[in-house]
Every structure is written in C-alpha cells, then in structure tokens.
Structure 1
Amino acid sequence: MEKISNYQLFGLTFLYQIGTTIIFGFGAGAGRDAWIAVLLSSLLGTCITIIYVLLMKMNPGLTLVQWFPAQFGKWLGTPISWLYPLIFLFDAGRVAGDLKELIPSTLLPTTPPLVFIGLFLLVMVFALYLGIENLARAGEILVPIVLILLSIEVLLLFSSDIIHLKYLLPILENGWVPIWENVYSQGISQTYGESIIFAMIWTQVKNPERIMKITIYSSILSGILLALSVTLAIATFGEDLYKRSIYPLFSLLGVVNVADFLNNLDPFGVIYLTSVAFFKMYIKIFAGIKAIQQLTHLHNHRVLIVPAVILVMYLGMSVSDNIAEHIYGMALEVVTPYVWVPLFFIFPSILLVVTWIRKKWLKGGGHSV
C-alpha cells in the first residue's frame, strides 16, 4: 500500500480546512470584529485537532471508526462509529450544494446545476478509483498555487485602492459576546472540528510521529489566511455589506480594478474555489466509503464508490432549495448544534477520557482482575 508523505498530508489538511469556508462570510455575525472570531476559532480549533491526534496516538494503527469499538466495546462503539461515515457523505452532499448555489450565480447562470454537478462528480469517481495517494500528489502542486493566487489577490486589492482600514474600527465596539457566538460552535466546527475526518487517513501516513506538528501547522496557516481574507473583505465592503453579502470573500475578486485594465476576475475565483471544493468533497467521500468498508469488513472499498457518489449527488441537489436555507436553515440551525457538536466534540472528548482511564487501569495492572 502506498503511503502519504509529510508534505502531502500537510497539503491535504490545508486544502481541506480552507475548503468552501473561504467562499462564505466566516464569522459575519461578529461584524467588523469577524477577523477576531476567525483567529479565536483557529486557536481553539487547533486545540480540538490536537485532541484528535492524541486519540490517534492512544489507539495506534486504528482509524476513527475503529477507536470507539476498541474502547467502548462492540455493542456501544459500533453504532457510534456508523454515525461518522453517514455525516461524511451527508457533508459531501452539502459541498455539492455549495457548488450548486455558487456556480449559477457567478459563472454559468444559464447552465442547469445538474449538468455541472454531474460532470464534477464524474471526475470525482475517476479520482476516487485512482486512490488518495494520487490526490495527495495533486495537493502538493495545488498548495503553492493557492498561496500564490492569494498573494496576488492581496496585491491587486491594494493596487485597486479600495482598501479602507477605517472600516475595521472601532474594535470590540459590541464586546466579546457576538464574537464568542460566532466562535462556538460554528467557528470551531466548520474548519477544525471537521478535521476529525483525517483520523480515517492518518494510518496511511509514512511518518505518523509527525502528524501532530503537521496538523498544528496546517491549522495555524489556514486560520491566518482565513483571517486575512475576512479582514480584506471587511476593509473593502464595510461591516454592513459584509454581513449582508452571501459570498463576501469570493466577491473580493469582482471589485479588483487596476487602471481599468485588470478587472473581472470572477472566473479565476470560481476555478480556484471549485478546485479547493473538489479536495474537500473527495476527502469526505473517501473517508465515508473507507469507514463503511471497515465497519462492514468489505474486501475492497471501490465497490462503494459509485453508490456513494450517486448519494452525494442526490443530496447536493435536494438537501436545500435555496442559499438561505442551505446556509442558515441547514448549517447553522440543524447540522452544527445537533450533528457536529456531538460527533466532533462530545464523543471524542468522552472517548479521550475513557481511553486515558483504560490506559491507566491497564498500566496499573487492572487487566489481571
């Protein structure tokens, strides 16, 4: 079996964490202090990812869905484990839903969403058959491209003379309450809590002892880039427009205008965002089918690829009727509090305590009873 290198894991983690998060207004409820909410989410989110790595180290050689049966027992642990592939595939459908809403409103207004989502997932099937090692190699190439594009975007925005730093003032005008409301639970769930999915991939890493540092570096870098993007969006549009805009971070490319020559960069933004969304959706589907394979003891996960992609396509086309329902009705009011919080925070925290107690018990000779 091929292994994933340190840099490849960093690339996959980084691209996954920025994912479709960079499309929407991260922490918009905090207004002009959204950049503080992003940085605080990054700090706390990094601590959450450290818990996941600690669980990996305490359960060597096991994936996420094998942790719970190993520590809770078959009858309690297996039902909990089944929740993870289900939410991974559901979330992959929500990424498809992001594209269903984004592409028609930006690049292809007359093309039926079913057409480009179908073609997108057709490529996804091919990539899934090739294996995650090939995706990791592509990530090696895409990471520097993403960083270069973001650097160019920053330069073009300042060159367009549309950045107004006064829009960021006064800082903390409304105190810490609106910031914290955007940090917990959406802020730390959307980018960092979701990183628990890499516990399905860490067993394929060449140097598992480096996973902790790689995960921390990736979380910090993605947090910095998200905070920078949010800061630029607020400094460009102002607080009110940032809070009302559906795609404020994407819209930054639309306002670039250098000497009336370099402008209308929306198509490049769509290509960039679609590429990042592809990585995020791929990892969700791959982790989902690998988890199902392990839970059902199938010999090969490839038999699950086509059914999983068909399910993701169906969910992407039907999970929400409009962008407001997709973002607010589904993500903020249902998925985050009732799905992500238990699966990303509560269950792993309980598992960490139980695993630590069992390790101490066995070390103290309790196994001889």
Structure 2
Amino acid sequence: MSKFAGINNAEITSSQCAKLLFLFALGSAALILPTSVTSIAKQDGWLSMLLAGPFNYLILIVFLKLSDRFPNLSLAQYAERVLGVWAGKAFSLLYVLFFLLLSALVLRNISDFMSLSVLPLTPEWFIDGTFMIVVIYGVYLGIETIARTGEILFGWGLFVIVIVTVSLFNQFDFHNFEPFLYNGLEQPVKGLYTILGFPIGEFVFITMVFPLVREQDRKKLRKSLKLSAALITIVSVAITVFLVGVMGVDEASRSPFAVYDMAKNINIEEILVRVEILVAMVWVGTVFMKLALCVYVLTVLTAQILNLSTYRTLALPYAFIIVPLSFIVYRNVAHARVFAMGVWTVYSLFHGFLLPFLLLVIAVIRKKRDNGSGRFPETIPQGTDSVEKEKTTEQQADRPDKEPALT
C-alpha cells in the first residue's frame, strides 16, 4: 500500500486496473445488455457479443497511446497540455457532464432492478439514497480501496457465473438458435450498435486510472488489459448463449432483467433452488463498482478543472445532484431501452472514442509529450512527527509540477 493511500494519492497494480475494467463492463451491462441485443439480433445475439470482442481492446489502444505520451497525467491534465488551458478545461467539462449523466443512469438501473424484482414496496428514493451513501464512502476512501474491493468481487463474480451456467445445462435447448443467420450478418451487426455505446464507449473512465498504476507495473498493463478484454467477451457471449438457449428469444426479449429471470429456472433435485439471489448480489456488487468509478472520475475531473488540492470534498455535494437526477433521466424501463438502443451509443462514442482520438491526433501533430507528475499535493496524516512533515514539505517544494491530479 502506498504511503498516503486513502488520504489523497494512491497507487494500484496493473492487475487491479484490468479487474476494474472487467467489473465496469460487467456492471449494469451484464443484466440489461443481453436483453437489448437479443431483441435486435434474436437468436444470433451471441454473434453480436462476439463481434464486439475486438472493439473491447481496440478502443483502449487510443487511451494507451495517450498514456504513453502523458504517463503520469490524466485526461483532464493532458487536455490542457495539448489544447491550452482554457480549451482544455472546456474539453474536460464535457466529460464532467458525461460522467454526471452516466452516474445518474447507473444509479437508476439499480433502483429499477431492486424496485421491480427484489423490493417492490420500497420507495425508489430510499434505495437510491442508501446505495449512494455506500458509494460516496468508497469514493472518499480512494482508488486503492475501490480496487481492493474489486479484487474480491472479481473472484465471486466469476464463481457465480460458473455456478449458474453449469446448473442450467440440463435446460439448454439448441433448437432455440434456429434458424442460424436467418437474415445473414445484418441482425448481428445491428446488435453490435448497442454494445459499442454500452459499455464500450464508457471505457473512457480508464484514462483517469492509468496514471495511478504503479510505475514498475506499467509494462504489464497492456497484457493485463488484453486478458480483461478477452474475458469480457467470453463472459458476454456465454451469458447471451445461455439466455437464448434456456429462455428462448421471445421470453428473453420481453424480460427487462432476463439474466435474473433465467437464474430462477435453476432447480436441481429441489436442493439447489433460488440461486437468482446470488445473481442479484453479484450484480449489485458490480453496479456498485461501476458507480463508484464513475463518481470517483467525476470528482477528480472537477477537482482538476478547478485546481483544487483534493477531490474528496466534492463527493458529497455530487451525491445531492446524482440522486435527484436519476429520477428524471428517463421515465421507465421501456423508455430506458429506447434511449440505450438509440441516442446513448452516439453520445457515448463521441466522448469515449471520437474526442480522445482527436486529442491524440492533435498531440501527435504538435509533438506534445509530458513526463511530469500530476499528483495532488500530499496530505500529511494525523500523528506524523514534525521531522516527517518537514521532509514532505521539502519534497513538495522541489517538485517542478505542482498541478493537482489523480488520487
């Protein structure tokens, strides 16, 4: 653990970074996306997931290229280096609005699921409020705490996925996949459109995490991200295959949370039943990870734009914006599906691919590189003796780049 972990600055490993990417992708998409893709591509929905596989990593290449040029800076910081201070701040403001909206959407996903499937009599405002308290606490503790939580959820998530798929083998019907490619590749390609915006276009959050990877671990980062992207594809294809094979296209397309409903079919000799609660627990955990990362990135972006010395003071005020906003982003689950399958892909890819790609092109043309540090000023823990405080003060005075950055 880094010396100032949980106070202001922190570090994570390349493995933790890759697991954060996996959990972010699994997040709200695991329960909602297969239903949307199946409604478009029908029995060939798994092909849409497979076609999306290369894009899981290809879109990260742009972020990695930017990270090579600015290894210790976040998106907001190197935007100012490339575009100039004011144009860079305006550029970063677009991402503040993007992650603010994304945070509200993710929070609304969890309240919709809980109110429709688990706690139908509980008010949505209570679900959102209590869930947000835990998220804000996680964001306040810092990225190391979030990453360590992710390591735990990563193992349990894979375990539950394996248990569910193995338990449903006896109900799998290959006839549900007929006729294969009835309309050629047209339907699977149409299904790919939704996946590109949700969650692939949202991977831009990782640009705020790359500078936090330990310097000695950065050589392993590309390999770790490749493995994570491959695992995202495998899990997505597996979930969609079992969804169609067990429930069929019609039932899978109608259910708002088809994966949760699929788990209700597990019944092994009246012993292994009601396994869907495990799916709910893992999904709630991955949604927590996605929302915590969104709010973390949102607060850090804002702190860097305003040149604040820490991001932590912004966590609670943003909670009072995100919770009310989650009630008005869309009217109901049906409206959310139309929004996700139409508008969101364009909006997400604009921020998640087009803008970073243009920034990379400008950086290459202008030959911009910067190896300077962009960390927040260190905060001295309580109880540190005066000698340690003087040493830290001297280190800050000698540091050439004092601009605030990641935690």
Please report the TM-score for the alignment, with normalisation by the length of structure 2.
0.84
- Note the C-alpha offset of 1:44: 1.9
Higher mean alpha-carbon deviation, 32-41 vs 19-28, is at 19-28
- Note the C-alpha offset of 1:118: 1.1
Unpaired runs of 5+ in structure 1? 362-369
Residue matched to 2:395: none
Residue matched to 2:319: 309
Higher mean alpha-carbon deviation, 127-136 vs 60-69, is at 60-69
Call closer, same or farther: CA 1:360–1:295 in 2, change over 3 Å.
closer
Residue matched to 2:195: 187
Name which of 197, 206, 224 aligns with 1:198.
Answer: 206
Instruction: State the Cα RMSD in Å.
Output: 1.8
Does the 8 A contact of 2:103 with 2:291 survive in 1? yes
Trace 1:1-369 onto structure 2 (pairs within 5 A).
1-26=9-34, 27-28=37-38, 29-158=40-169, 161-184=170-193, 186-206=194-214, 207-328=217-338, 330-337=339-346, 339-359=347-367
Name the SS for the 1:262 alignment partner: coil
* Partner amino acid, structure 2, of 1:163: F
> C-alpha separation between the residues in 1 aligned to 2:334 and 2:118?
20
> C-alpha separation between the residues in 2 aligned to 1:121 and 1:320?
19
More helix by share: 1
Name the SS for the 1:258 alignment partner: coil
Does the 8 A contact of 1:35 with 1:227 survive in 2? yes
Name the SS for the 1:4 alignment partner: coil
Does the 8 A contact of 1:96 with 1:317 survive in 2? no
Give per-residue Cα distances to partners, 1:292-345, cap 9 Å, x unaligned.
0001101111110101112111122222221111221x32333222x2121112
> C-alpha separation between the residues in 1 aligned to 2:62 and 2:354?
12
Does the 8 A contact of 1:38 with 1:226 survive in 2? yes
Name the SS for the 2:171 alignment partner: coil
The alignment covers a number of residue pairs equal to 357
Does the 8 A contact of 2:81 with 2:368 survive in 1? no
Does the 8 A contact of 1:19 with 1:276 survive in 2? yes
Residue matched to 2:372: none
* Partner amino acid, structure 1, of 2:354: I
Which structure has the larger Rg over C-alpha atoms? Answer: 2
Does the 8 A contact of 2:15 with 2:221 survive in 1? no
Residue matched to 1:367: none
Name the SS for the 1:263 alignment partner: coil
- Note the C-alpha offset of 1:276: 0.6
Does the 8 A contact of 1:192 with 1:219 survive in 2? no
> C-alpha separation between the residues in 1 aligned to 2:139 and 2:367?
37
Does the 8 A contact of 2:201 with 2:353 survive in 1? yes
Does the 8 A contact of 2:160 with 2:279 survive in 1? no
> C-alpha separation between the residues in 1 aligned to 2:178 and 2:75?
44
Higher mean alpha-carbon deviation, 5-14 vs 28-37, is at 5-14
Name the SS for the 2:114 alignment partner: helix
Does the 8 A contact of 2:33 with 2:195 survive in 1? no
> C-alpha separation between the residues in 2 aligned to 1:170 and 1:35?
14
- Note the C-alpha offset of 1:360: 9.0
Does the 8 A contact of 1:68 with 1:80 survive in 2? yes
* Partner amino acid, structure 1, of 2:315: I
Give per-residue Cα distances to partners, 1:211-241, cap 9 Å, x unaligned.
2222221111011101100000000111222
Higher mean alpha-carbon deviation, 259-268 vs 43-52, is at 259-268
* Partner amino acid, structure 2, of 1:52: F
> C-alpha separation between the residues in 1 aligned to 2:331 and 2:368?
51
> C-alpha separation between the residues in 2 aligned to 1:242 and 1:231?
11
Identity %: 26
Does the 8 A contact of 2:204 with 2:352 survive in 1? yes
> C-alpha separation between the residues in 1 aligned to 2:264 and 2:330?
26
- Note the C-alpha offset of 1:146: 0.8
> C-alpha separation between the residues in 1 aligned to 2:43 and 2:14?
37
Does the 8 A contact of 2:198 with 2:340 survive in 1? no
> C-alpha separation between the residues in 2 aligned to 1:252 and 1:315?
31
Name the SS for the 1:325 alignment partner: helix
- Note the C-alpha offset of 1:132: 1.4
Does the 8 A contact of 2:48 with 2:188 survive in 1? yes
Does the 8 A contact of 1:25 with 1:243 survive in 2? no
> C-alpha separation between the residues in 1 aligned to 2:99 and 2:219?
26
- Note the C-alpha offset of 1:115: 1.3
* Partner amino acid, structure 2, of 1:174: N
Does the 8 A contact of 1:50 with 1:216 survive in 2? no
> C-alpha separation between the residues in 1 aligned to 2:275 and 2:159?
15
